[in-house]
Amino acid sequence: MKLKFLIRVFFVLLLTLLIMQCSGSKKAINISQEEENVFNQNTIDTVTIENDSLEYEIIIMEVGFATWLQSMARPKGYYTQAFMENRNRIYVINWNQRVLDPYKYDPNLYELRINYDPNVDYGYDVNYELYNYFIYFQRKYKQRLGPFAPRIN
């Protein structure tokens, strides 16, 4: 009797999560005119994300990202490192899966894998800039790398 009840509860929870996932993906992302102007810039920004003590470095060459990071992203200290690490884990997994499937996902968007080990403490700055790049990328290219909308407000 208890097993049947647990199976029903599990099924209801699974169905609820599936419905929430499907309905959440249909919500449009609101992009302000200011943000749209940043997305439409012509000069390539280069942002280097690094942690010298870990010898870890990501170089992002993306039009408008440095400007967006300075003008649109939440300031440092707004999110905790733990929050950004959790989101970055999800984003990296989904990003890397898309890199491996160039027939389904645009290989011009998903060019290179990101080596992000969840067991390594990359520090606040690396997580901050990587997290914000994922937000920027999702908003600019209208992509979804996780179950939650990429918001800045």
How would you write the chain as a 3-class SS string? Answer: CHHHHHHHHHHHHHHHHHHHHHHHCCCCCCCCHHHHHHHCCCCEEEEEEEEHHHCEEEEEEEECHHHHHHHCCCCCCCCCHHHHHHHHHHHHHHHHHHHCCCCCCCCCCCCCCCCCCCCCCCCHHHHHHHHHHHHHHHHHHCCCCCCCCCCCC
- According to DSSP, the residues that pair with 82 across neighbouring strands are none
pLDDT value at residue 74: 95
Specify if 106 maps to a domain.
Answer: yes
pLDDT value at residue 146: 93
Least reliable range by pLDDT among 26-30, 70-74, 143-147:
26-30
Of 68, 59, 13, whose CA–CA distance to 38 is shortest? 68
In this prediction, what percent of the chain has a pLDDT beyond 70?
A: 80
Specify if 25 maps to a domain.
Answer: no
pLDDT confidence tier of residue 28, bands split at 50, 70 and 90: low
pLDDT value at residue 36: 86
Q: Quick one: average pLDDT of 106-112?
A: 94
Specify if 3 maps to a domain.
Answer: no
Number of domains the chain contains? 1
- According to DSSP, the residues that pair with 46 across neighbouring strands are 61
pLDDT confidence tier of residue 40, bands split at 50, 70 and 90: confident
For the entire predicted model, the pTM comes to 0.75
Specify if 47 maps to a domain.
Answer: yes
pLDDT value at residue 135: 97
Domain that holds residue 92: 31-141
pLDDT value at residue 86: 97
What is the average pLDDT value for the chain, to the nearest integer?
Answer: 81
Q: Is the pLDDT of residue 32 over 70?
A: yes
Cα–Cα distance list, 81 to 12, 38, 87, 121, 126 (Å): 33, 26, 10, 10, 10
101: its two tokens: 């499937």
Specify if 149 maps to a domain.
Answer: no
Task: Give Dmax (Cα) for the chain.
Answer: 65
Name the more confident of 60 and 132.
132
Specify if 98 maps to a domain.
Answer: yes
Specify if 102 maps to a domain.
Answer: yes
Specify if 86 maps to a domain.
Answer: yes
pLDDT confidence tier of residue 1, bands split at 50, 70 and 90: low
